[in-house]
Amino acid sequence: MKLVINGGKMLSGEIPVFGSKNAALPIIAATVLTKEKCVLKNIPRIGDVFTMLEILKSMGSTQRWIDEHTIEIENKDLDQSRINQKLVCTIRASIILIGPMLARFGIARLATPGGCQIGSRPLDTHFMAFRDFGVDISFDEKNGEYAFMLKNPTNEKVVLKELSVTATESLMMLGAKFPLTIRLAATEPHVENLGKFLSVLGVEVSGAGTNIISIKPAKNESQQIIFEITYDYIEMGTFAILGAATKSKLTISNVIEDQLDAVLHKLREMGVAFEMQNDKLFINGPAGNLKAAKIEARLYPGIPTDLQAPFGVLATQSEGQSLIFDTLYDGRLQYIHELQKMGAAGTVLGPHRAVIQGPTVLHGTEIKSLDLRAGATLLIAALIAQGESVIQDAELIDRGYEKLDERLRALGADIIRHP
């Protein structure tokens, strides 16, 4: 798939934020915990969500779309031995199935999860946590599959090696059957959203959104399970940066301001004019010249690593030298090489550090979507650039952004999709 963009156009209008990819995936996985029908609202229609749904279908899940963003899932007759391991290999989020499968079946077999190539993404935090809880883990080299088996929990407290989102979520779902306290838990909004869904199932959850989460199994399973996925704060930030970089006036709806503290603070520091009214963020373009800044990706509530690259594009339009740090992954800065093809003055100093000198005029050329977030980043760059840009491997963008090209066309962007 490729996108052809004629850049340099001023955008205007309102763009809605859709449901959170990072909340939808673990909550879809959490439906494994119950045999009752689950109605999930505000589900984004994106590649990773469709893959997770297909993984559940391979085990016997039945699903029905009620409307465009609402799905009914019934996992009454699941057979975990039938899981499609080829699909498991295609998305990183499949790792979160370990918890609910252990809770329901006492055993789980999963191939090594895949996903975007953004550097080393080891699984040792997950394995250490499950072993501490009493899970036996082995690896079948012939089939390339991990086997997880839980007989009797040996510990009701697990301390994570690091603040891993997916390890936190997987353990939370295991706690739906076995009492569990997770320390050094991740605090992202989608972790808190999962806690709310587990509460709807009847599970006692306290501390979701903090570094200590305690979970007690459900005493009585809920008979009616209806839940709405939270909105995607990565989309909120992406659209805000897009509006600032293209010097456009945009209205972004379905914004949760409290989830964007660090992002909005950095935008203000760089000279972006904006205001919030209820759930709408109005991007009014730069108040003057954009200013260079130090951009450091941190764990929530800091600037998300998923927004570090979009901020890098904004840095190409800002006066002075911006410093970029991202220690969370060692492959997140590869997009800068693509920006260099467009005329950006960026230098990668190592796996975690880069500098970008601005402002520079970007020129359209052929570039490659290296991963989901890099793809969205290069799309912003193409909208700024003079002339025509061609983004190859654009299907990677579809993994996390629903109909992004259509939504941007509604704002006046000149984008054509080619198979």
Active site residue 89: no
> What does the pLDDT read at residue 396?
94
Q: Which percentage of the chain shows pLDDT scores above 70?
A: 98
Q: Residue 138: exposed, middle, or buried by beta-carbon count in 10 A (0-12, 13-18, 19+)?
A: exposed
Residues 18 and 16: their CA atoms lie apart, in Å, by 6
- Tens-place pLDDT, residues 85-143: 999 999 989 999 999 999 999 999 999 886 544 444 568 899 999 999 999 999 998 88
The answer to whether 2-17+231-418 and 21-228 have equal CATH topology is: yes
The ranges assigned to domains in the chain are 2-17+231-418, 21-228
35 to 30, 49, 221, 222, 412: CA distances (angstroms): 11, 20, 10, 10, 46
Exactly one of 17, 24, 116, 182 is catalytic; which is it? 116
State phi, psi for 194 to the nearest 5 degrees: -60, -40
Q: pTM of the prediction?
A: 0.95
Helix (H) or strand (E) holding 149: strand 145-150
Which residue positions in the chain have pLDDT lower than 50? 116-120
User: Is the torsion defined by CA of 127, 129, 225, 43 positive or negative?
Assistant: negative
> What does the pLDDT read at residue 115?
53
351 to 149, 326, 341: CA distances (angstroms): 36, 8, 19
164 to 79, 87, 121, 123, 160: CA distances (angstroms): 28, 23, 11, 10, 8
The closest of 160, 171, 152, 358 to 270, measured between CA atoms, is: 358
193 to 33, 180, 189: CA distances (angstroms): 16, 18, 6
Residues 125, 167: contact at Cβ < 8 Å?
yes
Out of 3.10.130.10, 1.10.510.10, 2.30.110.10, 3.65.10.10, the CATH code matching 2-17+231-418 is 3.65.10.10
341 to 213, 220, 361, 368: CA distances (angstroms): 46, 59, 12, 10
Q: 21-228 belongs to which CATH class? A: alpha beta
> What does the pLDDT read at residue 113?
82
